[in-house]
Each structure stands twice: as structure tokens, then as C-alpha cells.
């Protein structure tokens, strides 16, 4: 018997049908659409068609996440991409953390994507590597809510499944090895102080993608979940301005 997990309030997918230009928005590992909703809503208010999927196994219970694979997370994003493709002529992608990894994956596999915006994207997290050696441990501490701004909480799991960490390690490996396949314009936001994903990830991505048009913007006033932090508006404005250049 499979257990039914309810979707947490605030973790629902965000879908808004607007114009012929679409923006796919992806949240990160153990997180939910709540971390990306301010961006998704801002894009929708500007008239874009927007789809922010809830990644499989996310936004319910960490035991639900434990049984999901990185292929499932890709499938969640591909489903959103297909929805946008049916309605739009051009599609952009924005992602936070593993959402950034997913954005990179999509750009590697869908050369028709016009441009991508990455926020503290992950392709290598050395602190996670030790998990491969763990035996008989199912759950680790939470990694969510790395936010500098007081009083702001990310809707994320309070435990991290070991099985899921192994999945994201495999996924980052896959994406990292294929970065040269990316040619689309790329905007990278990076928090110099990030307690989840080392900031060097963004520099590595910047150096290894084949894109001629790319820009790296530092966010000294935000931690990992910058979309809910002091730089939220800066990310929204910067991403909109960047995408408009290529419309």
C-alpha cells in the first residue's frame, strides 16, 4: 500500500497563462514553489505565461521525497516545459539551487531555450559527498531556510533523505559534465555567503558553458535562498531585463 501525501499549503504549482513568451521557474532540492512564487508572480504580472512546477516528491513529506529520483525531478520540469511549448513561441528558464541545475539540464537538452537565469545554481557540493558512505541512515538534518533577512522562513523539509542526496549528487555530475553543450545567454546570480551551495559553483558554470553572452552578479546581502532574501527584487528586475533583451 502506498501512502498518500498531501501537498503542503503554499507548495502548489504556480501556473499562469499569459502571452506567447513563457518562463519556466524551478525551485530547489527539498524546497517548494514557495521560494520561487515571488518571481513567478512578478513574471505573470508582466504578461508572461509562467509555469513553476512542484518537483515530484517535494512539498509533501520527506518520506515522499525519499522515493523520488532525479529523473522524476527532470520529468516534473519537462512536463511544465511541454505545457509552455504548446502555448508559447519562446521559452526562458529561471531556477534556484537545484532548480538552477534543472535549468542547466534543460538548456543542455533543449537548445531552443532562449535564455536562462540561475540563482545559486548547484553542480558540485563537496559537503554532500560523504553521504555516499552512509549505511543505515535514512535522514539527515534540514538544509532549507538559509536566509539572511530576519523573520523569513522557507517552506522546506525539516529532514533531508539520504537517498535523495545520492540522487542530486548523480544529477549534478550529469549536468556538470555537459555544461559545454549550453550556448544560450545565461545570467548567474551568486551569494558570496551561501551555507548550502559553495559560491564557486557559479564561477565554474560561468567558465564552462559555451554561451557567448553571460553575466555573473553577486548578491552580498543574501544567503542561499536569495529569492526570499534581501536581493529578491534585484533578481526579479535583473531577470526580467535580461530576458527582455532576447525577446
**Residues catalogued as catalytic:** 97, 194, 224
Q: How far apart are CA 209 and CA 38, in angstroms?
A: 28
List, in order, residues 6 or more apart from 158 with CB less than 8 Å away: 62, 142, 144
Evaluate whether 60 touches 35 at the Cβ level (below 8 Å): no
Q: How far apart are CA 235 and CA 139, in angstroms?
A: 32
Q: How far apart are CA 62 and CA 126, in angstroms?
A: 22
Q: How far apart are CA 44 and CA 64, in angstroms?
A: 30
C-alpha cell at 74: 527532470
Amino acid at each position: 500500500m502506498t501512502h498518500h501525501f498531501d501537498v503542503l499549503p503554499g507548495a502548489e504549482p504556480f501556473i499562469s497563462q499569459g502571452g506567447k513568451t513563457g518562463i519556466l521557474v524551478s525551485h530547489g532540492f527539498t524546497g517548494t514553489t514557495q521560494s520561487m512564487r515571488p518571481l513567478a508572480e512578478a513574471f505573470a504580472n508582466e504578461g508572461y505565461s509562467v509555469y513553476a512546477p512542484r518537483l515530484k516528491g517535494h512539498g509533501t513529506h520527506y518520506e515522499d521525497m525519499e522515493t523520488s529520483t532525479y529523473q522524476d525531478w527532470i520529468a516534473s520540469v519537462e512536463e511544465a516545459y511541454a505545457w509552455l511549448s504548446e502555448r508559447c513561441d519562446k521559452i526562458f528558464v529561471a531556477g534556484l539551487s537545484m532548480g538552477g541545475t534543472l535549468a542547466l539540464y534543460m538548456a543542455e537538452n533543449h537548445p531552443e531555450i532562449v535564455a536562462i537565469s540561475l540563482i545559486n545554481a548547484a553542480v558540485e557540493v563537496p559537503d554532500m559527498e560523504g553521504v555516499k558512505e552512509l549505511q543505515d541512515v535514512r535522514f539527515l538534518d534540514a538544509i532549507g531556510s538559509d536566509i539572511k533577512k530576519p523573520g523569513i522562513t522557507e517552506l522546506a523539509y525539516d529532514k533531508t533523505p539520504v537517498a535523495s542526496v545520492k540522487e542530486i549528487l548523480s544529477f549534478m555530475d550529469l549536468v556538470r559534465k555537459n555544461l559545454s553543450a549550453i550556448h544560450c545567454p545565461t545570467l548567474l546570480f551568486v551569494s558570496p555567503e551561501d551555507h548550502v551551495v559553495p559560491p564557486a559553483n557559479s564561477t565554474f558554470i560561468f567558465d564552462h558553458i559555451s554561451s557567448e553572452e553571460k553575466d555573473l552578479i553577486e548578491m552580498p546581502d543574501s544567503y542561499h535562498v536569495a529569492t526570499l532574501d534581501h536581493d529578491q527584487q534585484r533578481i526579479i528586475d535583473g531577470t526580467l531585463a535580461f530576458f527582455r533583451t532576447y525577446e
